[in-house]
Structure formats: C-alpha cells, structure tokens
Chain A
Amino acid sequence: MSSAVLFDAPGPKTVARHRIYTAVAALGLLALLAFVIWKLYSEEQFAYDKWEPFITPRYLTALLEGLLTTLQMAFTSVLGAVGLGVVLGVGKLSEHGWVRWPAWAVVEFFRAVPVLLLMIFVFYSYGISRGDSGAYWSVVIALTLYNGSVLAEIFRAGVLAVPRGQAEAAYAIGMRKTQVMQIVLLPQAVKIMLPAIISQCVVALKDTSLGYAIAAPGLTVVGTRIYTNFQNQVPTVFVIAAMYIAVNFLLTLLATYIQHRLVGEKSPLDLTRVGNMQGGENTGGAGGLV
C-alpha cells in the first residue's frame, strides 16, 4: 500500500482534518460533475434525436458489427504478433551474431516508428487498390509488425526471467540448444508472459482505432459515420468510448486473473524497459542492448 509508505496511521486531529478535506473535495467534484451535466444539457446534448441512433436496432447492429471487426483485427494482429515476436525474440537471444543483430535492428526499428506511419505506408504499398479489405489488412499488418517487435522484447524478458538453473540443468542432462529452448525454457516463459501478452491485446485493440486515418472498417469509423449523419458528435464519442472501455476492462480483468492463476502473487514480469502502453515504450539502446 502506497499510503502506508507515505502516511503514518492518522491520529484523532488528522482524522478530523481529513474529514473536512473529504467534504470539500466531494463538494468540488460534485460541482464539477454538475457543471458538466448542466453544460451538456444547455447545449442540448441530451435531446432525444441525438441519442436516437443508439436505440435504433439498425445502428446498434452496425455498432456491434464495427466492434466485431475491431476485435477481429486486434486478435488477428495479436496472433501474428505472437508468431513474429517468438521468431524475433529467439533471434535476439541467439548466440550467432548474424542472427542476433538483424533481429535487434528489426525490433528497434519497428518499435521506434509510430504505428500510423507504418499503417499509411502499408496502405499505400498494398491496401489502396483493394478497397475495404485492403484497409483492413493494412491495419492488421502494421499492428502485427509493431506489436510483434514489442512482444519480442516481452518474450526475451520472459525467457530471461526463467531461473538460470533450469537451462543449466537441461544442458547438464545432455539436451541440445533447441531442446533446451523448446522443452524447458519456452513453456515456463509463456506462463510468465501470458499476462503481458493479454495487456498487449488491450494496446492492439486501442490501436486498431488508428485505422480511422485510412478509413479502415471498425468501431471508430462506424462512429464517425453515425455522427456525420446525425450531427450528434458528443453522444457518439461517449458511446464509442464506453464500448472500447468495456472490452478493455474485460481484457484487463482476464490478465489479472491469469496473473494470479499462473504466476501467483509473485511480482509480474518487469516490463518498464519494454513498455506496453499504447503506441509506446522505451526504445533504443536502453531496452535492447543492456
């Protein structure tokens, strides 16, 4: 608990003071909330016709289909990214310089380049003449390359997190390098990495929305079509955001559950150096070389 580090157990005076602070803070927050609601109300954002699309079956179906496409894009790219991540991660751990350095370069490059640049490049190279499915696959390919390189780092960290004695013991009973990796290190590493991989799904899911820039299908683009039609920008943004938040929240719950189930209370894989926040992480020599 952070509060235990920061604050001693409060005495009676402090408790009384905190009560006053709590009351003031609660009032302030309520006032803020009231102001936001009043503002929305006075700008007529609660008008029935602004919310009508979201109780009309046709548009609801469109939204759910958009969500489904988004999920498909996210999971296709995560599947691809896991494959790519394993290849690059093993490459980075290789003993041969001619495997390790190219793998390192690829990982560093794709982690440092913004996904949007990648997306637009793939789109103009491949997707532009193929209509909707071209845009769809441009998003998937760009996300696969990006998340693949992030997962390569996660993967490498996972393998390195397996206690050294495991590999040493495997070598001692006469296993070959590939056997050690496949039979001993990988199964244990996957267990450690699984929560991080699921967190990466959240990142991928959020990044699919960048398909907006190339009009790829998905929840965000369905949203933009709805608000262009009905001029109900504010309600649409709220609804779309709520849908993304709900799905991401479920994924986070799943990651926490698996964390407890597989890794136990032990601290999760330290990925500060890998970083799995949206579109982001530490790149450069920092994560890769040390």
Chain B
Amino acid sequence: METVLDNLDDVGLAFAYTVLLFVIAGVLSLVFGTLLAAARVGPIAVLSKAAALYVSVVRNTPLIIVLIFFRIAGPKIGLKFNFVDITIGDVRLNNLFTACVIGLTVYTSTFVCEALRSGVNAVPLGQAEAARAIGLPFSGVMREVILPQAFRASVPPLASVQIALLKNTTVAGALGVFEAFARMRTLTNKNAGDRIEIFLTFALLFVILVEIVSFAANRLERRWRVAS
C-alpha cells in the first residue's frame, strides 16, 4: 500500500477531476438530453428527424472518437475553448478539461434522450385519453398526468446512463486530463511492482463512487415510484 499512501495527494486530486468531470458533464448532458428528447417526441417532424439522426450518429460512435474530435480535431477548426481557465486550489480547469466535458456531454446526452423517450413511451395511451376525456387542456394533460409518470419511469434508465458517464470519464484520462485513469497509469508506470494494489485502490474507489450514485438513484426511484 506504500505507493498509494505516498501519493495520496495525487490520488485525491485525480478523483477530484473525475468527480468534476462527472458532475459537470452529468448536469449538462441532462439539460441537453432533455432538449433533444423534447425535439424527438415533439410534433414537428423536421426536429424529430434531426434529433433522431443526431442520436443514432453519436450513439454509434465510440466515445473516444467523440473526445478525439473535440480535443484534437476541434482546435483545427477553431473549437479551442481557450476562454476557460479556472483554478480552484490544485484543480485547474483549462481548455483540455472543457473539450473533454463537451465531448462527454455530447455523447451522454444521446443516452439521456433515449432514456427520457423510453419514459414517455412507458405511459399507457389510456392515461392521456382519460385526461383529455375529463376536459383537461393540453398543459393540464402534460403537467398533471403524463410528464409525472414519464419522468418517474425514466429514473432507472437515467441512473444507468449517469453511472456509465461516471465510468466513461476515464476516457478523458486517455486524452490528457489528469483524472483517475491517467493517474493510475502514471503510478503503475513508475511502480510496476505494486500494480495490483494500485489497481485495487482505484478500482475500489470507483466501486464506491458507483455505489453512491446507485444508492441515490435507488432512493429517488423508491420515493417517486408510480403506485401500481
């Protein structure tokens, strides 16, 4: 355990980056994914087709290609994100970090869109028909009947998507953000003999993070579950 204990600061910093990537990209992907889902299920055929095209293109592209696009190809066409440079303690959020956040957001929002859409599809048609039959206007049908059910039904898939995002933040490590994966690679490179405990430390920290998100999602789901 010595290697890990000696480098505890670095490990902590690495996981700070991981959590930051996760939280920022998570919130942004929820926002953007909701917009996409709105376009996808909306009545405007053009928007719906465009959103569907976007989702199927991005979803079938490997995440690392998406990140390479924003991180390596982007600067060639003026996507530089140089305006971002925030330092909080030892954590420095620069253009690299931003490019990875944008890439993760673009990728994850397609899955958020599909999760929300599956939630909408889970609402039985009879619910909408009954709501219209008792004379609720469109806004009432949406607010009182459909969206609450759709939202609840999409909590479990949304939780899966966010957990996947948490694990996908490691891909940013392959492209220059010094988060958990990049730190583990450096540590293992320097102390190849201790690779097993290094791996187990990082792996267990990830298991703990995943469990935290999973636990929170379970609580929310239990609280909001549709009575059946």
Residues of B within 8 A of A (CB): 41, 43-47, 50, 56-57, 60-65, 68-69, 72-73, 76-78, 111, 117, 120-121, 123-125, 127-128, 132, 138, 142, 146, 156-157, 159-161, 163-165, 167-168, 170-171, 173-174, 180-181, 184-185, 188-189, 192, 195-196, 199, 202-203, 206-207, 210-211, 214-215, 217-218
B72 x A117 contact (CB < 8 A):
no
Q: Is the interface of B mostly helix, strand, loop or mixed?
A: helix
The number of residues on chain A lying at the interface, defined by a beta carbon within 8 Å of a beta carbon of chain B, is 65
A282 x B77 contact (CB < 8 A):
no
- Min CB gap B61→A, angstroms: 5
Q: Which of A58-66, A165-173, A237-245 contacts B (4 or more CB under 8 A)?
A: A237-245
B199 contacts which chain A residues (CB < 8 A)? 117, 121
CA distance A282 to B77 in the complex (A): 37
Chain B residue with the shortest CB-CB distance to A205: B62
CA distance A245 to B56 in the complex (A): 9
Chain B residue with the shortest CB-CB distance to A39: B77
CA distance A120 to B183 in the complex (A): 11
A278 contacts which chain B residues (CB < 8 A)? 62-63, 164, 168
Q: Which of B46, B117, B157, B161 has the most CB of A within 10 A?
A: B46
A237 x B60 contact (CB < 8 A):
no
Residues of A within 8 A of B (CB): 2-8, 10, 18, 21-22, 25-26, 29, 39-40, 43, 45, 108-109, 112-118, 120-121, 124-125, 202, 206-207, 209-210, 212-213, 220, 224, 227, 233-234, 236-237, 240-241, 244-245, 248-249, 252, 272-273, 275, 277-286
Which of A43, A202, A279 touches B60 (beta carbons < 8 Å)?
Answer: A202
Could you show 25 A-B contacts with beta carbons less than 8 Å apart? Answer: A18-B43, A21-B44, A109-B203, A114-B206, A116-B171, A117-B170, A117-B180, A210-B174, A212-B174, A213-B174, A213-B181, A220-B68, A233-B72, A245-B60, A252-B60, A272-B156, A272-B157, A277-B160, A278-B168, A280-B160, A281-B164, A282-B156, A283-B163, A284-B214, A285-B211
B173 x A116 contact (CB < 8 A):
yes
B196 contacts which chain A residues (CB < 8 A)? 125
A212 x B195 contact (CB < 8 A):
no
A25 x B125 contact (CB < 8 A):
no
In addition to A3-B41, A278-B168, 6 A-B residue pairs with Cβ atoms within 8 Å of each other are A29-B46, A108-B207, A109-B207, A112-B167, A244-B65, A275-B160
Which of B73, B123, B127, B164 touches A279 (beta carbons < 8 Å)?
Answer: B164
Chain B residue with the shortest CB-CB distance to A33: B50
